[in-house]
Chains A and B, each alone.
Chain A
Amino acid sequence: MNVCGVSAQYHDAATALVVDGQLVSAAQEERFSRRKGDPSIPVRAVRRLLDDAGLAPGDLDAVVFYEKPFQKFFRIVASSVANAPFGLTAFRAALHAWFESRLWIRTDLARALEVPRERIAFSDHHLSHAAAVFLTHDVGSAATLVVDGVGEWATTTLGRMRRDDDGLRYEVLETVDFPHSLGLLYSAITAYLGFEVNEGEYKVMGLAAHGEPRFAEEIGALVEAAADDAPRGTGGFRLDLRAFAHDRSVQKGWSRRLETILGPPNPPHRPFAADGSEDARRYADVAASLQRVLEERLLRLARRARELTGESTLCYGGGVALNAVANGVLARSGVFERLLVHPASGDAGGAVGAALAWAATHGEPRAAPLGAPLLGTTPDVRDDAPPDADDLAWERADDQDALCERVAELLADDRVLGWVHGRAEWGPRALGARSILARPDGPDQQARLNRMVKEREDFRPFAPVVLAHRADELFEGFGPGRALERRMLSVVTVRPAWRERLAAATHVDGSARVQVLHEEDAPLLHRLLLAFERRTSLPALLNTSFNHAGEPIVDSVTDAVASARRCRLDALAIPPYVGLRSRADAVPRAGDTTPTDATRC
């Protein structure tokens, strides 16, 4: 049985392919269209995954869309009635969006993917999220917690999922419905801080470490939590909607009341400057306060889930589960013995959940647990000729040891290097398949990479990848089994003795979103880390996603060559080849003359 899961229409369109109950591949459309967050029907991704699997569209038994569009439409109608006469402009815009495209998703999917209409099926949004976590782990039953902006109606769902002989059982125990939403609260304040919604939430999380949570009480008062002993079905929280406008406006998610409480917003698209000004400090404090409130509410929800289900494992999903700082707090809280998070827990991951849930309820309930989430495409490297890029001088390594020694030598020499090897990662984190690697030490390294390579805000941190057997020596605060840290889904603390040597990968508060690397997850990268450790005595590298500002992570060799040029990387490693850029064209190092225009691409 071949099942294709699809998420699309809002942001991060993606597809997943399940063959005989096993997840064989998954990819976001943006990797192929080269349009960040591409929401369109993932035609390119589906075709590529089918080609790689040797399947044709006609071989698909079902194409499962990750949510129910009619239910979503009814929610918009009901919200508009509730808010009338306000929100008319938003309602009119929604009508056009729905009747021009969203409502016809069955027809559009059938035409675009060349499958019969009757093979198109629909999952429930939060079921898709919960299944994406549950069915990719080896667990028989678990509590589920899904927290995001909004699905059809639900914004938060507490439940229980289990496998049995008949397939999959999903019991919803409590929900919080739109417009009360932790995800939309986070998005509203993301926009208030001047960042782009669905893109800037990571920046808010990074900015939070620069601030003090002095607005936590005020923001907390806007998210009224139910009593801990609330009767079943009445738990959760309610937003004070007087401070928000996401239920009646598509332009702005907050009202003047929020500005009265927090002060004037940062104008949209104005680059945030951590310049120590009063406004900058206030924005950082707002971010820190939001993060604090989010963590507190999530902890309450987790405790509630434990109480309602009695389970010892929590499958946690939805877009809010991309917040690695909050994930770390949840994992370390001990509310659950195991915390499981899908590597693409946002809407992209819904494609995986929709496909696996459909397979599980149609006779294929035993999906194998997902190991390293490398579910994307393999780079098209020719063995007999280097990639086509005249701006790089290519060398061919005789074997993997020679390649790792050469790359380690370059990294030890403070070169910034692109690394493309094996199947691409599934999810937003670069786990060593499509990464930019650099030395993690040096006080100027973070600013150098932020400004010169990735052209992004100075306050944003980079992440380290560390050899698993030395992880405890460098970091503390791991969750149970270090499961989340293996996929960069949680944040830990860098031990003080190592902060200087990991300066570029240590955030301002001493934290780091580490990737703990086991040999079986990425053998070649593991070998490279060992070679780098032999040369420098550092068992870690700085690892960031291989993309330039505003572009998706690279997928193919062609993408990598183009992005390496834009980022002016010193070198590009696409085993068995290593391409070197001339020193004059490469990223300046500490001590080099810095160009006056630091934003040069």
Chain B
Amino acid sequence: MLKERLQTLGQLVREGARPENRQHFVLVLVLVVAGLVIALGAMYPLVAPFLYTLF
């Protein structure tokens, strides 16, 4: 499942790099990193409480 998540994030970054979305590209990159942590938390409930304290 992690592979599919990473695939999706890759697609999101590619979409974010398109001209019409580029003004927020840096923010999208930051959010993708943060989102990856959230996604990991959602996938592994045991670590979720620790990861979610970051946000």
Contacts and interface: CB of A to CB of B under 8 A. Distances in A.
Interface in B1-55: 1, 4-5, 8, 11-12, 15-16, 21, 23-24, 27-28, 31, 34-36, 38-39, 42, 55
B31 A117 contact: no
Contact of A99 (B1, B4, B21, B39): B39
Contact of B34 (A95, A103, A117): A95
Nearest to B21: A74
**Residue among A100, A106, A117 facing the most chain B CB atoms (10 A cut-off):** A100
A107 B27 CA distance: 24
A107 B42 contact: no
Given A95-B38, A95-B55, A99-B39, A74 B8 contact: no
Nearest to A76: B31
Contacts of B4: 104, 107, 117
A107 B28 contact: no
Nearest to A80: B27
A70 interface: yes
Contacts of B42: 99-101
Interface in A64-86: 70-71, 73-74, 77-78, 81
A103 B12 contact: yes
Interface string A284-323: 0000000000000000000000000000000000000000
Contacts of A104: 4-5, 8, 39
B36 to A, nearest CB: 8
Nearest to A97: B38
Contacts of A101: 42
Contacts of A100: 38-39, 42
Contacts of A96: 38, 55
A440 B17 CA distance: 60
Given A104-B8, A106-B8, A74 B34 contact: no
Nearest to A106: B8
A71 B20 CA distance: 10
Contact of A81 (B15, B24, B38): B24
A98 B55 contact: no
A92 interface: yes
B35 A103 contact: yes
Contacts of A98: 35
Q: Is the interface of B mostly helix, strand, loop or mixed?
A: helix
B38 to A, nearest CB: 4
Contacts of B35: 95, 98-99, 103
Q: Is the interface of A mostly helix, strand, loop or mixed?
A: helix
B12 A73 contact: yes
B31 A95 contact: yes
Contact of B8 (A78, A81, A92, A103): A103
Interface in A108-123: 117
Given A95-B31, A98-B35, A104-B4, A70 B55 contact: no
Contacts of B36: 99
B28 A74 contact: yes
A18 B27 CA distance: 39
Nearest to A78: B24
A40 to B, nearest CB: 16
A78 B22 CA distance: 11
A361 to B, nearest CB: 21
A92 B38 contact: no
B38 A70 contact: no
A114 to B, nearest CB: 15
A123 B37 CA distance: 29
Nearest to B4: A107
B24 to A, nearest CB: 5
Contacts of A70: 11-12, 15
A98 B15 CA distance: 16
A77 B12 CA distance: 13
A74 B24 contact: yes
A81 B5 contact: no
A92 B27 contact: no
A92 B36 CA distance: 14
A102 B17 CA distance: 20
A104 B12 CA distance: 11
A264 to B, nearest CB: 35
A74 B15 contact: yes
Given A77-B27, A95-B55, A99-B42, A107 B16 contact: no
Nearest to A117: B4
A77 B5 contact: no
A103 B32 CA distance: 11
A153 to B, nearest CB: 10
A107 to B, nearest CB: 5
A55 B11 CA distance: 31
24 contacts: A70-B12, A74-B15, A74-B16, A74-B21, A74-B28, A77-B28, A77-B31, A78-B23, A78-B24, A81-B24, A81-B27, A92-B55, A95-B35, A95-B55, A96-B55, A98-B35, A99-B38, A99-B39, A99-B42, A100-B38, A100-B39, A104-B39, A106-B8, A107-B4
In the A-B complex, list the 3 residue pairs whose CB atoms are closest, starting with the nearest: A99-B35, A99-B38, A100-B42
Interface of B: 1, 4-5, 8, 11-12, 15-16, 21, 23-24, 27-28, 31, 34-36, 38-39, 42, 55
Given A77-B31, A96-B55, A100-B38, 8 more contacts: A74-B21, A77-B27, A77-B28, A81-B24, A100-B39, A101-B42, A106-B8, A107-B4
